[in-house]
């Protein structure tokens, strides 16, 4: 039984497709490969990090690990949202340069886990504004609803961390 599930997760062609955690951001449905997700946490107070762009809210303690928290709305200028009881942080772990890094992404709400078949992928149309297509893997269909699938590695590496390290080190200069 366990093996069957494992196969379903690993190999999209083995019949199952890939499982995605879907969440809502500014009314749209987005998906992240479930294997990259470490956990989902409720919103908690963050510790601010100096000299960071506004989308980098700060860091939190995630099981003893200090994890940076990114507000995806703010990052992609989707308008700011109230932080309420539905606000959640999706913790993702991705390979970044030399070692894996854990980053938290603030989303409006998580919905559910869907298996999205590879045949459902649509080529991402070029979108002006909002989330650049370079961070997207494609579009998937769940029933008749469209889900935008993130390329998490790119999102975290070039979308977030690269932005941060470009900042001048000596802010006073």
Partner 1 sequence: MSGDSLDEIRKIFEEECIEGLDTMEAGLLNLGEGGSGGDVVNDIFRAAHSIKGGSATFGYKKIADFTHLMETLLDLVRNGRKAASPPVIELLLGCVDCLREMMGAIHSGEYDEARIAEFMQMLQAELLGDDDAQPQVVTALPEPVAAENAAAQGWRIVFRPHEEMLRSGNQPLHILRALTELGECVTRSDVSRLPSFESFDPESIYLSWEIELKGACSIEQVREVFDWVEGECELSIEPVGAPEPPAAVIAAVAAAPERRGSDRRAPVADDRRDIDRRKKPAAKEAGSIRVGIDKVDNLMNLVGELVITQAMLSQFGRESPEGLDHMGLRDTLEQLSRNTRELQEAVMQVRMLPVSVTFSRFPRLVHDLSTKLGKKIELEISGEQTELDKTVLEKIGDPLVHLIRNSLDHGIEDEATRIAAGKTPHGTIFVSASHESGNIVIRVADDGAGLNSEKILRKARERGLIGEDEELGRQQVNDLIFMPGFSTADVVSDVSGRGVGMDVVRSNIQEIGGRVDVTSTPGEGSVFQITLPLTLAILDGQLVRVGSQVYVVPLLSIIETVLVDRERLNLITGQSPVYRLRGEAVPVLSISRVLRVREDVIEGAAAERERLLVIVESGRDIVGLAVDELLEQHQVVIKSLENNFTQVPGTLGATILGDGTVSLIVDIAGLVRLSGLRTDLGSAASAAA
Angle, alpha carbons 126-131-136 (nearest 5°): 70
Among 2, 13, 119, 171, which residue sits at the site for partner 1 (rule: CB under 8 A)? 171
Return the residues of window 110-169 that contact partner 1 according to CB under 8 A: 161, 164-165, 169
CA-closest candidate to residue 57, choices 44, 38, 41: 44
The answer to whether residue 63 forms part of the interface with partner 1 (CB under 8 A) is: yes
The answer to whether residue 84 forms part of the interface with partner 1 (CB under 8 A) is: no
Among 25, 37, 60, 105, which residue sits at the site for partner 1 (rule: CB under 8 A)? 60
CB of 173 to partner 1, least distance (A): 7
The answer to whether residue 2 forms part of the interface with partner 1 (CB under 8 A) is: no
- Closer by beta carbon to partner 1, 1 or else 172: 172
- Closer by beta carbon to partner 1, 49 or else 139: 49
Among 59, 74, 110, 141, which residue sits at the site for partner 1 (rule: CB under 8 A)? 59
Secondary structure (DSSP) of 73-96: HHHTT-------TT-EEEEEEEEE
- Cα dihedral 31/37/103/96 (nearest 10): -90
- Backbone angles phi and psi of 4, in degrees to 5: -60, -45
- Closer by beta carbon to partner 1, 146 or else 162: 162
Binding mask 92-111 for partner 1 (x = CB under 8 A): -------x-xxx--------
Angle, alpha carbons 163-19-97 (nearest 5°): 30
Question: Residue 118 has which token pair?
Answer: 């590879």
What separation in angstroms does the CA of 21 have from each of 4, 24, 151, 152?
19, 10, 13, 12
List contacts with partner 1 (CB under 8 A): 45-52, 54, 58-61, 63-68, 99, 101-103, 161, 164-165, 169-173
């Amino acid at each position: 039984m366990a093996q069957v599930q494992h196969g379903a997760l690993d190999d999209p062609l083995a019949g199952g497709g890939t499982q995605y955690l879907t969440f809502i951001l500014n009314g749209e449905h987005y998906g992240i490969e479930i294997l990259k997700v470490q956990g989902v946490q409720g919103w908690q107070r963050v510790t601010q990090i100096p000299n960071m762009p506004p989308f980098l809210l700060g860091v939190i303690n995630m099981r003893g690990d200090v994890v940076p928290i990114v507000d995806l709305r703010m990052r992609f200028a989707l308008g700011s949202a109230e932080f309420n009881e539905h606000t959640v942080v999706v913790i993702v772990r991705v390979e970044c340069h030399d070692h894996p890094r854990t980053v938290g992404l603030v989303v409006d709400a998580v919905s559910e886990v869907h298996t999205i078949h590879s045949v459902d992928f649509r080529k991402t149309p070029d979108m002006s504004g909002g989330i650049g297509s370079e961070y997207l893997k494609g579009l998937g269909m769940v029933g008749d609803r469209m889900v935008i699938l993130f390329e998490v590695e790119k999102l975290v590496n070039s979308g977030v961390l690269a932005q941060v390290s470009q900042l001048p080190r000596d802010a006073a200069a």
